[in-house]
């Protein structure tokens, strides 16, 4: 069948290749005409994953209508800050039943709404809207290295549709009904990865990284439960799995931002200009604060990252203040 992929960044490109490898025709929407031209002529994305040769079944265009023509499903792989605009554009060209898989990670900056909620507001029919998350670096997925992810949706039929669409010999896909938990995990892990990156950049070691990861999982669990998700989701692929790979991998843009930029006094604007990538964790540490205030959840690591990235706090002093917090039980607030 034909499947549409909206967004030709690294993850969108990798997912388009997975879909094509599974025997589908793929319409890939890209914003820049030069990217479209290179993908269609040379079967390579000139900006992301440039070493990967793409299947001829991946056809790029700058037109939403052409991308979605005769498509049976659509994957949205754009930054979370752009999701509402994309949803509004899709509303004009898809019917009320087309399955939609959100592959963005983070909450809407102005409202704190999770991606499924944003899509439902613009498109309606929540049961056809799913979310994909897991420990998946595009650089490894596109090479066929063994990976896995989770598809979460309120409708089992929609979750199974996307599971079967993506799964193959090297990419395992599992299903879940907990879209709230999966989406919050996806947002949280990027924030904690920035914290881990900062800690390494300041000269701290693996013990500190493990401390931040496990306490980050505790923050994640408190928020997931408060928002109506399942604590067990935090122990799965979207939670612990994605947290570990995002915090520890050399491919992680969020860790790299913390380690090579924040810890050295460099800015978010410099990182994005140098790498042509959005640091989702930088936005998420602000949007998660909206949810924390709404639900009365304590997020000390997230608050510290926000203070350092957005409020000019000194990273080393902020780290010490975090470590000096009063002692408590390990799993408080659950």
What distance in Å separates the CA atoms of residue 295 and residue 302, rounded to the nearest whole number?
15
- Strands of the sheet containing 2-6, edge to edge, are 58-61, 25-29, 2-6, 73-76, 100-102, 129-133, 147-152, 171-176
Q: Which residue has the tokens 């554009």?
A: 89
Separation CA 277–CA 291 (nearest Å): 25
Following DSSP, what letter does each residue of 66-117 receive, concatenated?
Answer: HHHTT-SEEEE-S-GGGHHHHHHHHHTTS-TT--EEE---S--TTT---HHH
Whether 48 and 9 have beta carbons less than 8 Å apart is answered as yes
Measure the CA–CA gap between 255 and 216, rounded to whole angstroms: 14
Q: Is 180 within 8 Å of 224 (Cβ atoms)? A: yes
Active site residue 189: yes
Among 143, 189, 286, 317, which one carries the catalytic annotation? Answer: 189
Residues 6+ apart with CB under 8 A from 205: none
Phi, psi of 131 (to 5 degrees): -130, 140
CB 280 within 8 A of CB 183: no
**140 vs 113: CA distance, rounded Å:** 30
Name the packing angle between helices 179-201 and 280-295 (round to 10°): 120
In contact, 75 and 101? CB cutoff 8 Å: yes
> Which pair of tokens denotes residue 158?
């929609």
- Which candidate, 237, 231, 205, 236, places its Cα nearest to that of 218? 231
Instruction: Provide the annotated active-site residues.
Output: 189
């Amino acid at each position: 069948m034909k499947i549409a992929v909206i967004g030709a960044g690294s993850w969108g490109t990798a997912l388009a290749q997975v879909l094509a490898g599974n025997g589908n025709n793929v319409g890939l929407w890209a914003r820049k005409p030069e990217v479209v031209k290179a993908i269609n002529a040379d079967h390579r994305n000139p900006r992301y994953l440039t070493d990967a040769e793409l299947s001829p079944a991946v056809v790029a265009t700058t037109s939403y209508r052409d991308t979605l023509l005769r498509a049976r499903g659509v994957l949205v792989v754009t930054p979370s800050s752009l999701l509402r605009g994309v949803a509004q554009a899709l509303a004009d060209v898809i019917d009320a039943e087309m399955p939609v898989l959100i592959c963005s990670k983070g909450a809407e900056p102005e409202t704190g709404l999770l991606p499924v909620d944003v899509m439902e507001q613009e498109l309606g029919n929540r049961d056809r809207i799913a979310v994909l998350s897991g420990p998946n670096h595009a650089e490894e997925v596109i090479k066929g290295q063994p990976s896995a992810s989770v598809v979460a949706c309120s409708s089992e039929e929609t979750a199974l549709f996307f599971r079967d669409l993506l799964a193959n010999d090297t990419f395992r896909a599992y299903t879940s009904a907990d879209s709230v938990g999966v989406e919050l995990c996806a947002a949280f892990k990027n924030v904690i990865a920035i914290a881990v990156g900062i800690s390494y950049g300041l000269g701290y070691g693996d013990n500190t990284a493990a401390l931040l990861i496990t306490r980050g999982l505790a923050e994640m669990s408190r928020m997931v439960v408060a928002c109506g998700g399942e604590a067990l989701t935090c122990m799965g692929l979207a939670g612990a799995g994605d947290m570990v790979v995002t915090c520890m991998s050399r491919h992680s843009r969020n860790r790299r931002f913390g380690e090579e930029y924040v810890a050295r006094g460099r800015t978010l604007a410099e990182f994005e200009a140098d790498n042509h990538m959005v640091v989702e964790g930088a936005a998420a540490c602000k949007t998660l604060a909206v949810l924390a205030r709404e639900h009365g959840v304590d997020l000390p690591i997230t608050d510290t990252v926000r203070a350092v990235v957005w409020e000019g706090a000194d990273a080393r002093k902020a780290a010490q203040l975090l470590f000096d917090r009063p002692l408590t039980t390990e799993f408080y607030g659950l």
